[in-house]
Chain A
């Protein structure tokens, strides 16, 4: 009896499916859209401020803008706010730089107790590592495709 047959499993999964509350898809999607948009809007405002008051050219203002967003996200992660915000905002909080900063900061904080080298250093990219690996790999292939297309 404990090792369930495929039929028993299928019947059980139907019961589980019927009794399991679904993720609130519409609410999650709307929140992700609005919050993700607002974070990008915030980035735009910061960028505009760098151009107007910081003497940056529009093409160069991107880097300090990203640095500010990374810092803000790291601070909110450190004071324990970002994870609660992410539960509310969902995918909206995973918008590249702030989400990325959160993965690194949270991993660094988590493993601080194992020391700076093996702990913080060894685990900082634990959650964000795949993003970097597959970001670089896909960039390579896109560049390869572009090179081939341009030189044909």
Chain B
């Protein structure tokens, strides 16, 4: 356990393990290219509830239950629960996981929240303040639409740079010294703000944050991009990913072919571009969670990826700040995973 450079925490070898993960996917996500990577595929985004908000809470709760089942852990064995969602006052997290009745920490860095939660959880496990921690995030396209945009059925034409908020929830159980996967490093990001104002251009707003955090992580750890089999950003979408790759090449972090091969984006992976109204790709607090815990961890288990860096990205705007014409500050936190064996 040590601090590297200016903002990276090294947890050490086999200190912080990931025992099990769970993913609950909404209908459009379940129809996407990663469909078979998810534990639970919903055929109704209402999830049997009477409101979208309660549906999201139910998804979060289900994800936590599945994670506990897969880890053979009773909820009462959890020392700490850390999570996030995009709703004001983190209602999906707090209300959805209310039945767990365990110590809870709600965190927020918009769609970068899963990496913030993993970093704090890793810290708690590595320092010995907790032995078993559940982390998770959720998002829902209809709750996000209501909070950040328009009524769901309102007819407005979206530009090609728009993104669709992922419906779903994911969770993971972290434990000290055991697990099929391990968290080796966490790099805490700084705010980046290049003056993007349009809420339709989240990818452009967040790409510099991902670039800064990735550079910082590589500088702190003395690693290069080639040391990772894959680096994924959270939800830049196809447009934002293209911008990030250009930034990385421009700043000498990677050559164009390496950036093309090694740097991907969860938002660009979760949907097929031909799916209806997904535009530039997915976004939301569940986007990187579903892709990482569902698809990428399975790829690690299969031996296709040995070392993975997840740089989840968050746009820290509110509806009020957007309407008042403020620029969109963005943040990205990075978590490095390796196989546990």
**Contact assessment for B157 and A91 in the assembled complex, using a CB-CB cutoff below 8 Å:** yes
Residues of A within 8 A of B52 (CB): 113
A3 touches B243 (CB 8 A): no
- Within B232-274, which residues are at the interface with A (CB < 8 Å)? 239, 242-243, 246-247, 250
Please name the residue on chain A nearest to B244 by beta carbon: A19
Is the Cβ of B212 less than 8 Å from the Cβ of A20? no
Nearest-Cβ distance from residue B244 to partner chain A, whole angstroms:
10
Task: Kindly identify, within residues 195 to 251 of chain B, every residue whose CB is under 8 Å from any CB belonging to chain A.
Answer: 195-196, 201, 204, 208-209, 212, 239, 242-243, 246-247, 250
**A111 to nearest B CB, angstroms?**
8
Known contacts A109-B151, A127-B154, then 7 further A-B pairs from the complex at CB < 8 Å, ordered by chain A residue: A13-B196, A23-B160, A86-B154, A87-B158, A102-B155, A106-B151, A127-B151
Interface residues of A (CB under 8 A from B): 1-4, 8-9, 12-13, 15-16, 19-24, 28, 77-78, 80, 82-87, 89-91, 93-94, 99, 102-103, 105-107, 109-111, 113, 126-127
Partner of B151, one of A1, A4, A85, A107: A107
Question: Is the pair A102, B153 in contact by a Cβ cutoff of 8 Å?
Answer: yes
Report chain B residues within 8 Å CB of A93. Answer: 155
**Minimal Cβ-Cβ distance residue in B for A3:** B193
Q: What class of interface size applies to chain B in its complex with A? A: 35 or more
For window 135-156 of B, CB contacts with A under 8 Å fall at 146, 150-156
Interface of B is mostly: loop
User: In the complex, which residues of chain A have a beta carbon less than 8 angstroms from the beta carbon of B131?
Assistant: none
Question: Which of B155, B160, B201 has the largest count of A CB atoms less than 10 A from its CB?
Answer: B155
A85 and B201 in contact, given A8-B194, A113-B53 (Cβ under 8 angstroms): no
Measured CB to CB, the closest approach of chain B to A126, in angstroms, equals: 8
Q: Which residues of B contact A103 (CB under 8 A)?
A: 154
- Taking a contact as CB atoms under 8 Å apart, the answer to whether B153 and A105 are in contact is yes
Decide if A15 touches B208 in the complex (CB within 8 Å): no
Chain A residues, Cβ within 8 Å of B247: 15
Kindly list chain B residues whose C-beta atoms are within 8 Å of the C-beta of A84: 276-277
Q: In the assembled complex, how far is the CB of residue B143 from the closest CB belonging to chain A, in whole angstroms?
A: 11
Taking CB atoms and an 8 Å cut-off, the chain B residues in 144-201 that contact chain A are 146, 150-161, 190-196, 201
Least distance between A152 CB and chain B CB atoms (Å)? 41
Q: How far is the CA of A77 from the CA of B208 in the complex (A)?
A: 39
Residues on A with beta carbons closer than 8 Å to the beta carbon of B201: 16, 20
